[in-house]
Amino acid sequence: MTAKFVSLACIRANESGNLSPRPHYPSMPKYPKGAIVSSDEEKFMQGSESTALFSVTGMTCSACAGSVEKAVKRLPGIKDAAVDVLNNRAQVVFYPTFVNEETIRETIEDVGFQASLITEVMDEKSSQMCHIRIKGMTCTSCSTTVESALQDLPGVERAQVALATEEGEVRYDPKILTLDQILKAVEDTGFEAILLSTGEDRCKIHLQIDGVRTESSMRIIQNSLEALPGVEDLNYDSELNKVSLSYQPDLTGPRHFIEIIESTGSGRYKAKIFPGGVSRQSHRDDEIKQYYKSFLWSLVFTIPVFLLSMVFMYIPGVKHVLDTKTVNMLNIGEILRWILSTPVQFIIGRRFYVGAYKALIHGSANMDVLIVLGTNAAYFYSVYSVLRAATSSVFESTDFFETSSMLISFIMLGKYLEVLAKGKTSEAIEKLMDLAPETAILLTLDSEGNVLNEEEIDSRLIQKNDVMKINPGAKVACDGFVIWGQSHVNESMITGESRPVAKRNGDIVIGGTLNTNGALHVKATKVGSESALAQIVRLVESAQMAKAPVQKLADRISKFFVPLVIFLSFSTWFAWFLAGKFNGYPKSWLPSSMDSFQLALQFGISVMVIACPCALGLATPTAVMVGTGVGASQGVLIKGGHALESAHRVNCIVFDKTGTLTVGKPVVVNTKLLKNLVLKELFELVAAAEVNSEHPLAKAIVEHAKKFYQDEENPVWPEARDFESITGHGVKAVVRNKELLVGNKRLMVDHDVAISLDVEEVLAEIEGLAQTGILVSIGREMVAIIAVSDPLKPGAREVISFLKSMKIKSIVVTGDNWGTANAIAKEVGIDTVIAQAKPEDKAEKVKEIQATGNIVAMVGDGINDSPALVAADVGMAIGVGTDIAIEAADIVLMKSNLEDVIIAIDLSRRTFSRIRLNYLWALGYNVLGIPIAAGALFPFSRFRLPPWIAGAAMAASSVSVVCSSLLLKNYRRPKQLNTLAIRGITVE
């Protein structure tokens, strides 16, 4: 299988039901039942595992995939098996000592499908992902430059750079490109690059080792660690005494590493989790401190410059001192302003020079270029003016030192407020990260499951199959299942579901959730970056990295924005200069102590510094960041700007039936006997056949049959011979020497079983009640009809009604029969029904609806919904659905509530409205601000915008756009949904 289906599977219950009440520690692959394997054999097997890829034809739904997977996993020596029904492939990881490819292939064919070995297995690591922090970007021009440089590298499949998060995401081929080359490409564009993570970091730990003094000691430790099974890569940083290890969590873990390190040196060496890190928040905090410090230092020099220029000149005694001449016409005030403004221009403003230089040498222009040109024009004209005064006995100087220093100070204030506000846009991720507890209680159990010891450990040291104790009021330390105890767990921080969920033996728990009232013993199944919490964080981070299509507008504008502003600035200066030179305006217009050149210069500088490309660049990503963060807190995971943009235009929603409109857990509601049979004996025979099937209806029948054996927890069914699963129709088997057929009407017709008019009438009646009729024949004679019902989700009718009020059309598409489909649709208030649709038919129906001009959202939960989820403009996966459906979807509804469909669309509409408002503000600001700065109002009102005020306005525009996006944090779901809650409608 070319794709690895890893996403939010840990949120769902373990469907296999293999929940052991006793702890099972790592380093043990799957062996034949009851096999005794020595440690040497175990290591040999682990080192010789193989992967085989098979082409499997004939599969049509998740039941088919499940039966293949189940049959393969029963074989001895199978470590793992995964079936991709969409691509008709099965990937099997096995130990050749026990089984070979031919045996696996024959097993698949025994299930009823054609299988062939694919010899050219694609390498799963043919491409990798890395995340980089990029420091120094100031506007869209910067992010576009870096993105283009990365995209041009050979081996890069996709590169995205986000200005708002100051991060980059690169998918590349490691055979062609190295991480060092990627980082160098970023640095060559003039920005600092810091590697945050790579595709290999899924299972990686950083340890600090104390006590190592020689290289030979370190080599011994390295050799000891590398000899451990499951250790894939090891790097040692001698300066920090840090060891970084990549490993397979099924085979080993961080506690093993620490134990090996400390035992190697007979107690001389100590190891612990490496402290600190390069989290987004710590980087943001450092950036905020830097700008705050720079702003305070700029004030130290700028306030005196402002007082000397604007205040002291009007105090008679002080004015006299400042006007005292020193050298020719040069006075004390000008010398003081020059001295005070110089540190602001060249020390505090150094970052703008560096940014402008880096941008210009790579052929681009950013905000730093505008700031440097504007402040340099004011500063160096002032230097020229005072030097001329110092060398002349008649020339009186007019300087603009206050312009350059105040300009830089206001920009520093603006950048400080901007990074402060931008930090709040990613608060959702920080809150999610903070959910993981710092410590956990590790239990040591004996072979009977009795607790021998309790130990508090760092939660990052938890390994797979550890047993953790979760006290009342404590957070669950990892994903796993309960092996002892009963309690209620508040999962609202992960799923958004506010009501605590009851947990008992065998139930799944999610790391980061809150245990409320009882102690639990939990066996760890997903730890570290494999956990549901970590995957949600990654999904939200990835969403915030992705660019919305509307952002292309800002990217296109940014290419021409700065050069255009520079052209307008010089044009403004030149026009006013010529007008003054050739008496184009009365001399009375000139302010006192200013000539036409100086007036023109001020207008030119104002135009240059008032234009703000930052606001345009931040308009979309900040809104997307806040919107996706709010969605995550509501239990709606939106995969980026593209999903947001498409969802706000949706006018038609296609709903799958089973598991979407219905609960997805069918139950037997009635049985109609057509022959004189004992009901218990009938269900014993039917269960014997259906227990081999993975279909939800089969499971419902088996569960119902168990009710006749209340004294037995797991009744033993009679042996079923010649079992055959007939896809889409039912099952066939021989039980107690009787040929048994269980399935739909088509199955009976194909096997020449007579269907009387009475049976037809009963079936029609059952389907009219929105139930599914399962026919049972013994010896080609009809004996019973079992009615199975999948109840509607509470509130489904109200949700469909609400969607109508939003002018969104709803359609049902299902593989079920027309009678049941029509009955369900009528019950919820949907007029358009498409029934008996195969997976590929669902996708075709979606495309047909799109062809009529509709923007279509598909809501589904199963593998057979995945083609339609991909085909739709927006795919919405129910959170308890299959991994592949979640992977294929654009939006994941964590709570599986239908009302979250409304929240997803409503939130996308609000977010996109905010993006529009941001663009209106950013573009409108520049369209209005530039003419005013250029002096458009001056001829009529003598109003002119001083450069330092223009600079303050520029800084304020970026802050205002970010603050506008932050208002999305106040999002509340539509009031009508609260009305549903008041009525007592709660969706499970």
CB under 8 Å to 62, separation ≥6 — which residues? 85, 694, 862, 863, 864, 882
* SS3 assignment, position 477: coil
Could you tell me if 538 and 897 are in contact, meaning their C-beta atoms sit under 8 angstroms apart? no
pLDDT in tens, 41-92: 343 344 457 788 888 877 766 567 777 887 888 888 788 787 776 667 888 8
Strand (E) or helix (H) holding 231: strand 231-237
Mean pLDDT, the chain, integer: 79
* SS3 assignment, position 47: helix
Instruction: Supply the pLDDT for residue 17.
Output: 34
Instruction: Supply the pLDDT for residue 283.
Output: 64
Q: Does the pLDDT of residue 188 top 90, yes or no? A: no
Beta strands 874-878; 856-860: pairing state: parallel
Most confident of 115-129, 612-626, 799-813, 969-983: 799-813
How far does CA 972 lie from the centroid of its chain? 22
Instruction: Supply the pLDDT for residue 18.
Output: 35
CB under 8 Å to 781, separation ≥6 — which residues? 675, 753
Instruction: Supply the pLDDT for residue 227.
Output: 80
Instruction: Supply the pLDDT for residue 958.
Output: 79
Mean pLDDT of 574-595: 85
Instruction: Supply the pLDDT for residue 497.
Output: 61
Chain position carrying tokens 């397979």: 248
Q: Count CB atoms within 10 A of the CB of residue 326.
A: 12
HEC sequence for 56-100: EECCCCHHHHHHHHHHHHCCCCEEEEEEECCCCEEEEEECCCCCC
Q: What is the pTM of this model?
A: 0.66
HEC sequence for 117-155: EECCCCCCCCCEEEEEEEECCCCHHHHHHHHHHHHCCCC
Q: Does the pLDDT of residue 451 top 60, yes or no? A: yes
Strand (E) or helix (H) holding 342: helix 332-343
Q: Does the pLDDT of residue 346 top 90, yes or no? A: yes
Could you tell me if 542 and 907 are in contact, meaning their C-beta atoms sit under 8 angstroms apart? no
Return the higher-pLDDT residue of 93 and 545: 93
Share of the chain above pLDDT 70, in %: 85
Return the higher-pLDDT residue of 138 and 668: 668
Q: Does the pLDDT of residue 279 top 60, yes or no? A: no
Return the higher-pLDDT residue of 13 and 94: 94
Most confident of 382-386, 533-537, 640-644: 382-386
Q: Does the pLDDT of residue 986 top 60, yes or no? A: no
Concerning whether 458 is annotated as a catalytic residue, the answer is: no
For 497-528, b where at least 16 C-beta lie within 10 A, e where not — what string? beebbebeeebbbbbbbbbeebebbbbbbbbb
β-sheet bridge partners, residue 774: 786
pLDDT in tens, 408-443: 888 888 778 777 776 666 666 666 667 778 888 998
Instruction: Supply the pLDDT for residue 3.
Output: 36
Mean pLDDT of 608-616: 78
Instruction: Supply the pLDDT for residue 352.
Output: 87
Cα of first residue to Cα of last residue in the chain, in angstroms, is 34
pLDDT in tens, 391-402: 888 777 778 788
Instruction: Supply the pLDDT for residue 880.
Output: 60
Least confident of 58-62, 348-352, 503-507, 976-980: 976-980
Could you tell me if 971 and 928 are in contact, meaning their C-beta atoms sit under 8 angstroms apart? no
CA angle 242, 244, 249 (to 5 degrees): 140
Instruction: Supply the pLDDT for residue 931.
Output: 92
Instruction: Supply the pLDDT for residue 795.
Output: 80
Instruction: Supply the pLDDT for residue 30.
Output: 36
Within 13 Å of residue 702, how many CA atoms lie on the same side as its CB? 20
Residue 977's pLDDT band, with cuts at 50, 70 and 90, is: low
Measured distance CA(60)–CA(102) in Å, rounded = 24
Instruction: Supply the pLDDT for residue 985.
Output: 43
HEC sequence for 786-805: EEEECCECCCHHHHHHHHHH
Residue 276's pLDDT band, with cuts at 50, 70 and 90, is: low
Instruction: Supply the pLDDT for residue 430.
Output: 67
Q: Does the pLDDT of residue 37 top 70, yes or no? A: no
Instruction: Supply the pLDDT for residue 202.
Output: 56
Q: Does the pLDDT of residue 592 top 90, yes or no? A: no
Using N-to-C axis directions, what is the helix angle for 427-434 and 401-425, rounded to 10°?
50
Q: Is 244 left (phi over 0), alpha (psi -120 to 50) or beta?
A: beta
Within 13 Å of residue 495, how many CA atoms lie on the same side as its CB? 26
How far does CA 448 lie from the centroid of its chain? 42
> Helix, strand, coil % (nearest 5) of the chain?
50, 20, 30
Instruction: Supply the pLDDT for residue 39.
Output: 39
Most confident of 194-198, 366-370, 476-480, 546-550: 476-480
Instruction: Supply the pLDDT for residue 593.
Output: 66
Q: Does the pLDDT of residue 587 top 60, yes or no? A: yes
Instruction: Supply the pLDDT for residue 20.
Output: 33
- Starting from the edge strand earliest in sequence, which strands make up the sheet with 192-198, in order? 156-162, 167-172, 128-135, 192-198
Strand (E) or helix (H) holding 784: strand 781-789
Q: Does the pLDDT of residue 475 top 80, yes or no? A: yes
Which of the following is catalytic: 250, 368, 507, 656? 656
Return the higher-pLDDT residue of 13 and 123: 123
Q: Does the pLDDT of residue 492 top 80, yes or no? A: no
Return the higher-pLDDT residue of 639 and 850: 850
Q: Does the pLDDT of residue 13 top 60, yes or no? A: no
Residue 281's pLDDT band, with cuts at 50, 70 and 90, is: low
Residue 14's pLDDT band, with cuts at 50, 70 and 90, is: very low
Residue 756's pLDDT band, with cuts at 50, 70 and 90, is: confident
Could you tell me if 722 and 688 are in contact, meaning their C-beta atoms sit under 8 angstroms apart? no
Instruction: Supply the pLDDT for residue 236.
Output: 78
Chain position carrying tokens 């400390």: 262
